[in-house]
Structure 1
Amino acid sequence: MEGTPVAVDAVREVGPETVALELETPDGFDALPGQFVLLRAVPGADDQQADHDEDDVVARHYTLSSSSVEDTFELTVGVDPDGDLSPWLADLEPGAVVHVEGPFGEITYEQDRDIVAVAGGPGVGPAVSIAEAAHDAGHDAVVVYQDDEPAHVDRLEALEDAGATVVFVDEDDEESLREAIEDHLEDGQLYAFGFHDFVAFVAETIDEAGGDSDEALIENFG
């Protein structure tokens, strides 16, 4: 199987049908908030390091949701009960092995400026990691998060208690999302993470509000 074998350190529930998969950081893995990895595994196999038929290997991209990768790094996984990989990942025990490739991606945060992170659904993972990295570096952070069943609420509330601005928006409330983006358009480097329709709406709102969506760092999850 391609990729580097890494051990699972912990799996935690962080929201409805959402887990955080914490993995031990392999040698030479130097990722920044905003980047992603390709995770490979053979769900159900006892030995993930054995030779497997490639037809049995399931691969998915996941964006980092930890602000650093010093000893471990975190991936936030939305669990689809009918999915090929996510239910198996959610049930892993510490010491289990998966394979990762990367990091990949040019959307990064280097702890050098104030940020505004706009997240839809699973985009909360990279959004909260960038906000935490900004706060740790002494910069201001804004998170605008649209989801009816939010994840990472404890981390978002901790950021808010520490002085960050966190705006929760209901899933179908486009007007509140538009207003939140407009209100914080000039408050820092703008990031957006989510599926196509969400990030397209964010880009359109930025342009309509007088900003430039080409200067925003936007990750489209497909």
Structure 2
Amino acid sequence: MEGTSVTVASVSEVGPDTVALELETPEGFDALPGQFVLLRAEPEDEVVSRHYTLSSSVDDTFELTVGIDPDGDLSPWLADLEGGETVHIEGPFGTITYEGGDDIVAIAGGPGVGPAVAIAEAAEEAGHGAVVIYQDDEPAHVDRLEALEDAGATVVFVDEDADDDLADAVASHHEAGQAYAFGFDDFVTAVAEAIEDAGGDADQALIENFG
């Protein structure tokens, strides 16, 4: 199988139909918050690959947040792992990164919470301000978001269909730091429009469109 072989350290539930896949860091692997990897595995003797964005910094291990599609070819299999198994990765990929130099505003829709949390934690650790705006009816990583709040970050939860509330949150906070947005096409398009409507420049936002 192509890619670098890595060992699954643990799998833990971090929200409804969402798990955190913790992987042992292979030699020479270095990634910044915001980047992603291509993960390959072989459930039922067929190689399946998916892209996942890192949801932690890289140390002895690193984390990927996986939304579980009950009918999916890979995510249910990953969710059932117990640790000690092997998967393969390629990367890291992506130019949307956080390098520790700025206050940040991370705007997440659904699975975008993974990189948003990673970037916010990196900003807080570097002594910078962090805002997280997160739209989802069934949020994941609530414990980490609450820990960020306790550390002084601003965290705004928005219901999934509350697009006016999302626009209001973006308008209130988009100037608080470098803006990042992670999510599917409709979400990141709405975020870009909200930034423009609030008098900002959406071209200056770092946007990762999940398709």
Question: TM (normalized to structure 1)?
Answer: 0.94
SS in 1 for 2:175: coil
Q: CA deviation at 1:44?
A: 3.4
Superposed CA offset, 1:55-95 (max 9, x none): x21000000000x2110000000001110000000011211
1:60 paired with 2:46, answer no
How far residue 208 of structure 1 moved from its aligned partner, in angstroms, is: 1.2
- The one-character-per-residue Cα deviations of 1:92-124 (angstroms, maximum 9, x if unpaired) are 121100000000000000011100000000000
3-state SS in 1 of match to 2:174: coil
- Alignment partner of 1:112 is 2:96: no
* Cα distance in 1 between the residues matched to 2:104 and 2:125: 12
* Amino acid paired to 2:43: P
Supply the distance in 1 between the matched residues of 2:171 and 2:25 (Cα, whole angstroms). 38
Tell me what 1:184 maps to. Answer: 173
Segments of 5+ residues of structure 1 without an aligned counterpart are: 46-55
Aligned-residue CA RMSD (Å): 0.6
Structure with max Cα Rg: 1
Please name the residue that 1:13 is paired with. Answer: 13
In structure 2, how many angstroms separate the alpha carbons of the residues matched to 1:71 and 1:28?
11
Once the 2 structures are TM-superposed, how far is the Cα of residue 185 of structure 1 from its aligned partner?
A: 1.4
Tell me how far apart the structure 2 counterparts of residues 218 and 10 of structure 1 sit (CA, whole Å): 30
When normalised by structure 2's length, the TM-score is 0.99
Tell me the residue number matched to 1:148.
Answer: 137
1:168 aligns with 2:154: no
Q: For this pair of structures, how many residues does the alignment match? A: 211
User: Equivalent pairs: percent with the same residue?
Assistant: 77
Q: In the aligned structure 2, how far is the partner of 1:173 from the partner of 1:164?
A: 22
Within 5 Å, give how 1:44-123 maps onto structure 2: 44-45=44-45, 56-66=46-56, 68-123=57-112
Q: Deviations over 1:173-212 (max 9, x none)?
A: 0111000000001100000000000000000111111111
Q: Is 1:35 aligned to 2:18, yes or no?
A: no
CA contact (8 A) 1:44 1:88 kept: no
For 1:179 and 1:143, locate their aligned partners in 2 and report how far apart those are by CA, in whole Å: 14
Pick the aligned partner of 1:197 from 145, 165, 186. Answer: 186
Whole-angstrom distance in 1 between the partners of 2:174 and 2:181: 12
Give the aligned partner of residue 53 of structure 1: none
AA matched with 2:123: A
1:126-153, Cα deviation, whole Å (9 max, x unpaired): 0000000000000000000000000000
